[in-house]
Amino acid sequence: MKRHGLRIAAVTAAACLALTAGACGRKEPGPTPQPQAQEPAAPIMVTASINQWGSLAKQIGGQDVTVRSILDSTSIKTHDFTPQNADTTKLTGAEIVVANGAGYDSWATGKLGKNAVTVSASTTVGATNGDNPHLWFSKDARSAMATELENAFAKARPSESATLRREAQGLENR
């Protein structure tokens, strides 16, 4: 019986020693490393000649664009408008300039930055000088401009193009 008691005591002591040694060598799992969040790209700087196109650009680009409209009031006579230094600065600092065209805002494309991309409503829909320049009233022109803006934004930020296209699709589905 004594031998049997010694065996039980030896097995119990060995088991305790194994558990104690195992617990000392084991590290608690640390926090799972999280993938580094990629810094969002700076917003695309967009200058629109008139607020009607600036508002569409903001709807299409959402948080991925900063839009400044030169003429942001309908009380200003566009045909008589002469840009001031601050307006010229907005145009030269833009990555994308959104213009109406068709003779409505010819001043908008005369002073662009060297790398600026122009999205023109009249070019998009095939309007020329002498046509009705109030293109923003046309549903077809707005739809065509939405597509052109989406493409210009995606080209300006290829890494963000999928997000930009999803946002534009969400706008079209509203």
Establish if 167 belongs to a structural domain: yes
Establish if 32 belongs to a structural domain: no
Evaluated on CA atoms 81, 64, 140, 55, the torsion sign reads negative
Q: What is the pLDDT of residues 16-34, one digit of tens each?
A: 555 555 555 555 555 665 6
Domain ranges, residue 79:
44-172
Number of separate domains in the chain: 1
CA distance 95 to 45: 5
Look up the CATH number of the domain holding residue 144.
3.40.50.1980
Establish if 143 belongs to a structural domain: yes
Q: What is the pLDDT of residues 59-95, one digit of tens each?
A: 999 999 999 999 988 778 777 789 999 999 999 999 9
Establish if 57 belongs to a structural domain: yes
Establish if 17 belongs to a structural domain: no
| Predicted TM-score (pTM) above 0.85 | no
Establish if 37 belongs to a structural domain: no
Establish if 27 belongs to a structural domain: no
Q: Supply the mean pLDDT for the chain.
A: 82
- pLDDT score, position 113: 78
Helices 139-156, 161-172: axis angle to 10 degrees equals: 160
Establish if 64 belongs to a structural domain: yes
Asked if 54 and 68 count as a contact pair (C-beta separation under 8 A), the reply is: yes
Closest CA to 147 of 164, 163, 127, 134: 164
